[in-house]
Amino acid sequence: MGEQSTAKFPQDVLDEYAALGVDLPALFSAGHLGTRMGVQIVEASSDRVVGTMPVEGNTQPYGLLHGGASAVLAETLGSIGAMLHGGSKKLAVGVDLNCTHHRGARSGLVTGVATPVHRGRSTATYEIVITDEQDNRVCSARLTCMLRDSAPQTLTG
C-alpha cells in the first residue's frame, strides 16, 4: 500500500513540463498523505483524472470507508485535473470541497473519476464520482480550485 504507479499523461503535457525540468508524474502524485492512504493515479488529463484507493486502512470505527478518506481521494483527483488545465504557469489551490456520502464500503478498492464542470482562467471546478468494485456510487464530490500564477521555482521546489 502507498506505492505510486506511473500515471498516464498526454505526451504534449509531459513534454511541456520536461522542458522546464519538472517530473510531471511526481508533481501530480497523491503526495505524502495520498501515499500513506494508498492512492494510485491511473490516468490524468485535464478532461479526466482516475485514481484508486484501498478501503482497508482508510476506515472509521464502524469498519466503513472514512468520509475523510473519500475527501482526500476527491481533492487529489480534482486538483490534478485543475493543475493540468492551468498548465505549467499556474498553481491550483483548492478553495471549496463538497462531498456527499451515499453508501459505505467495507473492503476492496474504490475508484474516483474527476471530470470538469467548469474550466476558466482563474478557477476550475471538477466533479468527482467515487465508486466501489461493484460500480456502486459511494461518494459524489465537487472541488473548485483557484488558479494562481506560479513562478517556475514553485513547481520544482
The residues annotated as belonging to the active site are 75
Grid cell 475527501 in the structure block, residue: 71
Amino acid occupying residue 91: L
**Residue carrying the nine cell digits 519538472:** 22
Read off φ and ψ for residue 7, nearest 5 degrees: -70, 155
Report how far residue 69's alpha carbon sits from residue 49's, in angstroms, rounded to the nearest whole number.
17
Inter-residue contact 41 to 51 (CB < 8 Å): yes
3-state SS of 15-54? Answer: HHHHHCCCCHHHHCCCHHHHHHHCCEEEEECCCCEEEEEE
